[in-house]
């Protein structure tokens, strides 16, 4: 009875404060409960309407940030970018960070964060890609780019990326700002010497642990917004960890099914057999196999032909 009374009091306190318990998985295998910040619209600030950019102060708890970083350190590798012509992931000096992707609903912590993102954006979880974790060390950056696609291959699965939620998992001493060089009226943003030189070239958001930025790459009518151009300034002091979550206009989890037939079965690249042997048919099915209305580049090597 005494234990039941304690639990009841705890439940009432949690309800009164709006604190939601989040299950964290300890490194020693034990469970640790850490409070997640309650959803509070007063924590959200609109920093631009052209493009639409919002900052949520304290979107993640420190414990959640540390948990995501711990997961990433096990599998992190050099980041890639999508080639504008082929849609294939390639290495580029445009993006010099390291990163990895988590699985959707990988553990209770990831699931809770994904639910919180859906609640904030009003966009369904099935439209989102897997959460990516990025690390920027001294001098590393990501040149200004768009999150919407220029190639047709990547648009087949889920359509354009509509919105991005960028979560900061660490506070950077200097540099590492997210900068929007095309944002209307960015010149009026007050900046002091704590901002890097790069950040003075556009509307800038400093990376603060636990904060999150939501911005939209498309207008409300679905047309790509060129004002959404953005980049990650070079890290000058410290280390930057972040977690972008890209959300498409349609379901990303359930892309159109491509029926097996003999149409478009020829390989369109001399490298198809090599890519297939490396497992790209499963890792990059939209490019390799294709989707409805867009045959892939390596259907023959991926064995999707009837004969």
The 10s digit of each residue's pLDDT in 115-161 is: 999 999 999 999 999 999 999 999 999 999 999 988 777 888 889 99
Provide the strand spans (E) within the chain: 20-25, 31-36, 44-49, 52-56, 77-78, 81-82, 89-90, 98-101, 132-136, 142-145, 161-168, 174-175, 178-180, 203-205, 212-216, 230-232, 235-237, 240-248, 290-291, 294-295
In this prediction, residue 289 carries a pLDDT of 80
What is 41-248's CATH topology?
Jelly Rolls (2.60.120)
Confidence check: pLDDT of 181 > 80: yes
Distance of CA 77 to the CA centre of its chain: 16
Confidence check: pLDDT of 238 > 80: yes
What would the mean pLDDT of 69-94 be, rounded to a whole number?
65
Kindly list the distances between the CA atom of residue 30 and the CA atoms of 25, 63, 78, 179, 301, in Å, as whole numbers in the listed order: 6, 14, 31, 40, 46
pLDDT tens-digit map of 11-25: 443 333 333 333 444
What would the mean pLDDT of 75-81 be, rounded to a whole number?
68
In this prediction, residue 225 carries a pLDDT of 97
Between 260 and 194, where is the model more confident?
194
Contacts with 248 (C-beta within 8 Å, 6 or more apart), sequence order = 127, 128, 129, 157, 158, 159, 160, 161, 162
User: pTM of the full predicted structure?
Assistant: 0.72
**Domains of the chain by residue range:** 41-248, 257-306
In this prediction, residue 30 carries a pLDDT of 40
């Amino acid at each position: 009875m005494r234990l039941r009374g304690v639990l009841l009091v705890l439940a009432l306190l949690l309800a009164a404060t709006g604190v939601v318990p989040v299950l964290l998985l300890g490194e020693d295998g034990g469970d640790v409960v850490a409070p997640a910040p309650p959803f509070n619209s007063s924590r959200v600030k609109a920093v631009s309407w052209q493009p639409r950019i919002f900052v949520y102060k304290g979107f993640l708890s420190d414990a959640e940030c540390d948990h995501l970083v711990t997961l990433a350190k096990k599998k992190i590798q050099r980041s890639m970018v999508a080639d504008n012509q082929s849609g294939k992931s390639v290495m580029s000096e445009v993006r010099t960070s390291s990163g990895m992707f988590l699985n959707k609903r990988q553990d209770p912590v990831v699931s809770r964060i994904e639910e919180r993102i859906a609640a904030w954006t009003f966009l369904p979880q099935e439209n989102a890609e897997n959460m990516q974790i990025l690390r920027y060390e001294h001098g590393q950056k990501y040149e200004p780019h768009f999150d919407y696609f220029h190639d047709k291959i990547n648009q087949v699965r889920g359509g354009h990326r509509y919105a991005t939620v960028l979560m900061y998992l660490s506070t950077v001493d200097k540099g590492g700002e997210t900068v929007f060089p095309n944002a209307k009226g960015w010149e009026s943003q007050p900046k002091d010497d704590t901002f890097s030189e790069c950040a003075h070239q556009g509307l800038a958001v400093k990376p603060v642990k636990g904060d999150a930025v939501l911005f939209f790459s498309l207008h409300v009518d679905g047309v790509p917004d060129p004002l959404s151009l953005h980049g990650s300034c070079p890290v000058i002091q410290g280390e930057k960890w972040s977690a972008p979550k890209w959300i498409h206009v349609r379901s990303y989890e359930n892309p159109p099914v491509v029926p097996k037939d003999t149409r478009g079965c020829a390989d369109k690249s001399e490298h198809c057999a090599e890519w297939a042997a490396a497992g790209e048919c499963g890792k990059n099915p939209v490019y390799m196999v294709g989707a409805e209305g867009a045959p892939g580049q390596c259907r023959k090597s991926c064995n999707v032909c009837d004969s």
